[in-house]
Structure 1
Amino acid sequence: MTLWVRYAHDGGEGFGTLDGEEIAVHAGDFFAAPAPTGERLKRGAVRLLAPLRPGAFIGLWNNFHAAAAKQGNAIPEFPLYFLKNPRCVIGPGEAIRPPAGYEGKVLYEGELGIVIGRSVSAVDEVAAEAAIFGYTAVNDVTALDLLTADASFPQWARAKGCDSFGPIGPAIATGFDWRAARVAVALNGRVRQDYPLEDMILPPARIVSLVSREMTLHPGDVIACGTSLGALPMRPGMQVAVTIEGIGVLENPYAPSV
């Protein structure tokens, strides 16, 4: 398994592979045979950024059996998806903030993110699997009261696309076995979500295949696989940490609006 990261260092940005406490710097196209430069940086000497800036940021709803059973939802045969504003993406350590003037509930939702590595359109599951570059951790932050603010129109894009509502990172893991992994979310160190990814209703390759029937997916696009039980509101001052063993810990403070 390889961990890919993006970082800020000495006024510039770069990317490479994480090897213990060092980053092996790479050059070229992230998704097209990047080459090591031979330079190595100490992990502590850089600031990790979101590992990518997606062109399309897709999120799923109702994709875990346990949550569907508790909420009384039918089991979907096709991804129930929405689009998050790709400009809402932030990296590890950056602050999540509610929109100005908003005083309602803001939920964390720890999720596995699929990172697309090649362009695909209307592909089967074999080709979809081959198009997955790797996986990352996502916090699909939601302003719950905006979602239901108008009874005539559920506002998914508005509720999930606010500035800072898309933490991603800390790395993209290639060669990652999602079936053996769990997603855990802790608020101020207290675990509030802890669920197995093998409980997914639609697995990653099927998600990519089905979504590709309707929109072409491109390198760098991200699909968040949905969350399970335990998504709760945050309060300003809290630290929220999404952990997926093998990918790392995506930790962000929840701060007041500015």
Structure 2
Amino acid sequence: MQWARGKTGNGTEVIGVIADDMLHPRAALGSDEAAGEAIPLADVTLMAPVKPGKFIGLWNNFKAAAEKGGHAHPEHPLYFFKADTSLSGPGAVVEIPASAGRVVFEGELGIVIGKTCKDITPEEAKQAILGYTCINDFTSLDILNADPSFPQWTRAKSFDGFGVAGPVIETEIDWSALEIKVLVNERERQSYPASDMILPPEQIVSCLSRDMTLHPGDLIACGTSLGARPVKPGMAVEVVIEGIGSVGVTMSAPPE
């Protein structure tokens, strides 16, 4: 099953389930309650499929990248938060602020929480995960490392539009069989298997639930692997995960 969020021609925001090239509105994310007549997908402009209360990203969660960087495997997610205003979706134009300096893409698998949960086991976490989506976790490397006394994770990752999600949430998929790819101007620049994760999704959710209550719609980016590269204004950057879809944005410079 695929969940999507978008706007109709009159600007009405809808969330629902995709079936037979139609969007069937639902009362809320994960709800079975219908909320209106089905709408042709052609009449809907897709947005990020969820508006997260918490947008969490992981660092050092892939074995290949950890090995190259000489990092030990974490036993608990090493995470940061992205501002809610960093969220953007399919077809967005993402501005690279002058203050951001060098910015890289990071193609990632995203976990969408479907149930409120606290202090749950990995087995229970499987039931708390609604599904998966594509993420592009843009990062300003210059800001991240600007102050040697304090890595600025939140600031480096929270510029408007730096948290791309979409195009849908897929609820019926084997995450371990997925391949995360990034295309820049239609050329493949990153490709790695989700199965190389150090902490799998159910363990990520279980661990995070011990730190904080997770709510429906919370979004967790599972981290990236080797291949993240700088982006520049004018580039088209697309994250592709077969079985979920692709979410592309165009990078831009600040207005003069």
**For 1:209 and 1:18, how far apart are their aligned partners in 2?**
29
**Quick check: 2:113–2:217 contact (8 Å CA) kept in 1?**
yes
**For 2:137 and 2:245, how far apart are their aligned partners in 1?**
17
**For 1:76 and 1:111, how far apart are their aligned partners in 2?**
18
**For 1:145 and 1:23, how far apart are their aligned partners in 2?**
43
TM-superposed CA distance for 1:17, in Å, is: 2.3
TM-superposed CA distance for 1:36, in Å, is: 6.7
TM-superposed CA distance for 1:37, in Å, is: 4.0
**For 1:239 and 1:182, how far apart are their aligned partners in 2?**
20
**For 1:48 and 1:253, how far apart are their aligned partners in 2?**
16
**Quick check: 2:48–2:89 contact (8 Å CA) kept in 1?**
yes
Per the alignment, residue 136 of structure 1 pairs with 133
Per the alignment, residue 233 of structure 2 pairs with 236
**For 2:36 and 2:150, how far apart are their aligned partners in 1?**
51
Establish whether residue 185 from structure 1 lines up as the match of residue 182 from structure 2: yes
Per the alignment, residue 125 of structure 1 pairs with 122
User: Given residue 248 of structure 1, which amino acid in structure 2 is its aligned partner?
Assistant: G
**For 2:249 and 2:84, how far apart are their aligned partners in 1?**
18
User: Given residue 56 of structure 1, which amino acid in structure 2 is its aligned partner?
Assistant: K
Per the alignment, residue 88 of structure 2 pairs with 90
1:148-199 Cα offsets, whole Å, 9 max, x none, are: 1111111000000111111100000001111111000010011011100001
1:194-244 Cα offsets, whole Å, 9 max, x none, are: 100001000000000001111110000001000001001001100000001
**For 2:60 and 2:147, how far apart are their aligned partners in 1?**
21
Per the alignment, residue 247 of structure 1 pairs with 244
**Quick check: 1:16–1:23 contact (8 Å CA) kept in 2?**
no
User: Given residue 17 of structure 2, which amino acid in structure 1 is its aligned partner?
Assistant: T
**For 1:230 and 1:256, how far apart are their aligned partners in 2?**
23
**Quick check: 1:109–1:139 contact (8 Å CA) kept in 2?**
yes
**For 2:246 and 2:218, how far apart are their aligned partners in 1?**
21
TM-superposed CA distance for 1:38, in Å, is: 4.4
TM-score by length of 2: 0.96
Gaps of 5+ in 2: none
**Quick check: 1:24–1:36 contact (8 Å CA) kept in 2?**
no
**Quick check: 1:4–1:173 contact (8 Å CA) kept in 2?**
yes
Establish whether residue 73 from structure 1 lines up as the match of residue 83 from structure 2: no
Q: What is the CA RMSD across the aligned residues, in angstroms?
A: 1.3
- 1:1-258 alignment to 2 at 5 Å? 2-9=1-8, 10-19=10-19, 22-35=21-34, 37-41=36-40, 43-99=41-97, 101-102=98-99, 104-258=101-255
**For 2:250 and 2:6, how far apart are their aligned partners in 1?**
19
Percent identity over paired residues: 49
User: Given residue 5 of structure 2, which amino acid in structure 1 is its aligned partner?
Assistant: R
**For 1:214 and 1:167, how far apart are their aligned partners in 2?**
25
1:28-80 Cα offsets, whole Å, 9 max, x none, are: 12223232744231x33221111111000000001001111111111111111
TM-superposed CA distance for 1:103, in Å, is: 5.7
TM-superposed CA distance for 1:19, in Å, is: 3.3
User: Given residue 13 of structure 1, which amino acid in structure 2 is its aligned partner?
Assistant: E
**For 2:31 and 2:13, how far apart are their aligned partners in 1?**
18
Gaps of 5+ in 1: none
Please say which of residues 11-20 and 90-99 is displaced more in the overlay: 11-20
Q: Helix, strand or coil: the match of 1:207?
A: helix
- Give the strand-richer structure, 1 or 2: 1
Q: Helix, strand or coil: the match of 1:4?
A: strand
**For 1:162 and 1:52, how far apart are their aligned partners in 2?**
18
User: Given residue 80 of structure 2, which amino acid in structure 1 is its aligned partner?
Assistant: F
1:102-125 Cα offsets, whole Å, 9 max, x none, are: 261111000000000111111111
